[in-house]
Amino acid sequence: MFDSTRKHPLLATMATRALVLSILLVGCSAQAPRTSLPPSTSPSQDSASCTQPQPAPGKLSLAGLAYGPSHTGQDPASGAFPSSEEIRADMCTLASLTHYIRTYTSTGSADAIVQAAAVAHVFVASGIELGRDPVVNAREMTGGERLALNRAVRAIIVGNEVLQRGDLSEAQLRSDIEQVRAKLGRAVPVTMADTYTQWIRHPDLANDVDFITVNIYPFWQGISIDSAIRFLDQVYTEVQKTFPHKLIVIGETGWPSAGPPYRAAVPSAASQGRYLREFLNWAQARGVLYFYFDAFDEDWKVDEEGVGTHWGLYQQNGQVKPALSDLLPSPAPATLLQRSYRDVYVGGVETGFVLGMDSSEHLHQWLTSNDGMLVLTYPANQQWGAMFITVGPPVPPGHRPSLDLSAYRSLVVDLRGAVDGQCVRIGIKGKDQPDNGSEVTVQRCLTTQWSTITLPLNAFTGVDLTHLYIVFEVLFQGSSGATLDMRNIRYSPT
């Protein structure tokens, strides 16, 4: 389809604009009507938990919204990703706010995001993350090509600001775009996202994409909030004049709610709200398609001039930011529930935690993981055995890192025994407590069916919750072997 039309520039332009507009135009106004997706080609999860109502009168809806799924303590750079359940809960809130989300990677949580979006009737502009490592890039492109088979994916964004960072040359980026296009299993518009300066410096790349995705941040240009929309309008007009025959989509724009000033640009809650209102009015007046940045604060983005953790419209805990509460729909109950937890092990060990094993005979290899589940096989002929999760690598008392979890009220874990009646002891430990088994533990007896164990933190008497070092431990005693399955270790505020 694409190759044949590209032989005729005018025909290609008309066909591509029609295709892209048919996919994106539904959300071009700030009060867009709602629509439904075609059925997904992949199995979907039950969406019964998504009971978020339609936005109330006077609440905004967005043409598109950037979505990073990381919850508190999760860092994709360290391989710590949210669970499918957490992503489905987020989607309940996203679906009340927009029809389209933009993602940035085709690995990690990408598949879960696309599946959840399909169920919630949300389109996805699916990102392929590109950098300097060709092996990682190849993995990303393969993932993006696979995700495009799902009908929820309505555009592929091959790389985000790779020219701005200097990660790839124009020739390398062009090659990657064409490789992705050649392997797509269906006709999906392809684009790449970069700053307006890079698009203007590399105009020939417009021939390789179906529409232009340009990131425009008055904040990062040091423009004051009073001049921000005027500056954005000037830049957008310049990009339009440079590419008169291409559809122009704003891939990112926004304003942080807190952090240090960047020249004349001052982050604040009031300025974030003002920028959101003025941008949406501008976009609606000019008929501009966009993906606003971004949905939720993400606490792993600590290396962006002190403002990286403050771009979200919703807080890390899922609550709408107070200064935006009169503009945006309230979060879905499922979102608030999932984001209220502090995960320790959900699908894998969360960032900042380390899992260890020991026994009386110093055996350390009696744990396996399988599809997000831990299987503990306590070896026979031991006096005791322990599986523990610490804040950072295990170290002796006096040098231990710690974490303040005093805001939480209970420890929650899913457990399953190999036999009915199997009992285990569960504990936690402060950074100054000795490693002599003197800590208070709580016993629970299990069945062969999964059960969610909720342990009030006040049951662990003598533990300093403001300086926790071992955030979870399972203790075995006696010479008989035992097997235990475990998943979803979390701290709950209730």
Q: What is the tens place of the pLDDT at every residue in 180-211? A: 999 997 889 999 999 999 999 999 999 999 99
pLDDT class of 10 with cuts at 50, 70, 90:
very low
The three-state (H, E, C) secondary structure of the chain, written as one string = CHHHHCCCHHHHHHHHHHHHHHHHHHHCCCCCCCCCCCCCCCCCCCCCCCCCCCCCCCCCCECCEECCCCCCCCCHHHCCCCCHHHHHHHHHHHCCCECEEECCCCCCCHHHHHHHHHHHCCEEEEEECCCCCHHHHHHHHHHHHHHCCCCCEEEEEEEECHHHHCCCCHHHHHHHHHHHHHHCCCCCCEEEEEEHHHHHHCHHHHHHCCCEEEECCCHHHCCCHHHHHHHHHHHHHHHHHHCCCCCEEEEECCCCCCCCCECCECCCHHHHHHHHHHHHHHHHHHCCEECECCCECCCCCCCCCCCCCCCCCECCCCCECHHHCCCCCCCCHHHHHHHHCEEEECCCECCCEEEEEEECCCCCCCEEEECCEEEEEECCCCCEEEEEEEECCCCCCCCCCCECCCCCCEEEEEEEECCCCCEEEEEEEECCCCCCCCCCEEEEECCCCCEEEEEEHHHCCCCCHHHEEEEEEEEEECCCCEEEEEEEEEEECC
337, 52 contact by CB (below 8 A): no
Residue 368 confidence (pLDDT) above 50: yes
**Averaged pLDDT for residues 455-482:** 94
User: Nearest 5°: CA angle at 156, between 233 and 165?
Assistant: 65
HEC readout, 164-223: HHCCCCHHHHHHHHHHHHHHCCCCCCEEEEEEHHHHHHCHHHHHHCCCEEEECCCHHHCC
Domain 2-340 coded CATH 3.20.20.80: yes
Residue pair 152/122 in contact (Cβ under 8 Å)? The answer is: yes
Judged against a pLDDT cut of 60, whether residue 428 lies above it is answered with yes
pLDDT of the residue at 35: 30
- Residue range(s) of every CATH 3.20.20.80 domain in the chain: 2-340
pLDDT for residue 372: 81
What pLDDT, on a 0 to 100 scale, did the predictor assign at position 40?
Answer: 31
pLDDT for residue 34 is more than 50: no
The answer to whether residues 379 and 359 touch, using CB atoms and an 8 Å cutoff, is yes
pLDDT at 436: 85
Q: Is the pLDDT of residue 214 over 80?
A: yes
How much is the average pLDDT of 358-383? 92
In this structure, of 112-121, 363-372, 407-416, the range with the lowest mean pLDDT score is 363-372
- Identify whether the C-beta of residue 269 lies closer than 8 Å to the C-beta of residue 321: yes
Q: Give the mean pLDDT of the chain.
A: 88
Burial of 264 by CB count in 10 Å (0-12 exposed, 13-18 middle, 19+ buried)?
Answer: middle
**What per-residue confidence (pLDDT) applies to 46?**
38
Query: Where does the pLDDT of residue 54 fall: very low under 50, low under 70, confident under 90, or very high at 90 and above?
Result: low
Beta-bridge partners for 403: 468
Give span(s): CATH 2.60.120.430, the chain: 345-492
**Interval 474-481 mean pLDDT:** 92
User: In the predicted model, is pLDDT for residue 42 greater than 80?
Assistant: no
63 has pLDDT over 90: yes
| pLDDT grade for 57, boundaries at 50, 70 and 90 | low
Of 73-87, 325-339, 469-483, least confident by mean pLDDT is: 73-87
451 vs 461: CA distance, rounded Å: 24
pLDDT above 90 coverage of the chain, percent: 78
Distance CA 103, CA 88 (A): 15
pLDDT at 282 over 80: yes
Answer yes or no: is pLDDT of 5 > 80.
no
pLDDT value of position 21: 58
pLDDT in tens, 371-414: 889 999 999 999 999 999 999 998 888 889 999 999 999 999 99
pLDDT higher than threshold 90 for residue 106: yes
Which CATH superfamily is 345-492 part of? Galactose-binding lectin (2.60.120.430)
Residue 323: pLDDT band with limits 50, 70, 90: very high
Residue 362 has pLDDT above 90, yes or no: yes
134-147 and 110-120 helices, crossing angle to 10°: 20
Q: What is the pLDDT of residue 9?
A: 43
CA 91 from chain center: how many Å?
11
Higher pLDDT, 44 or 275: 275
What pLDDT score does 2 carry?
29
Mean pLDDT lowest among 124-138, 148-162, 259-273, 386-400: 386-400
- Residue 91: both structure tokens together: 């989607």
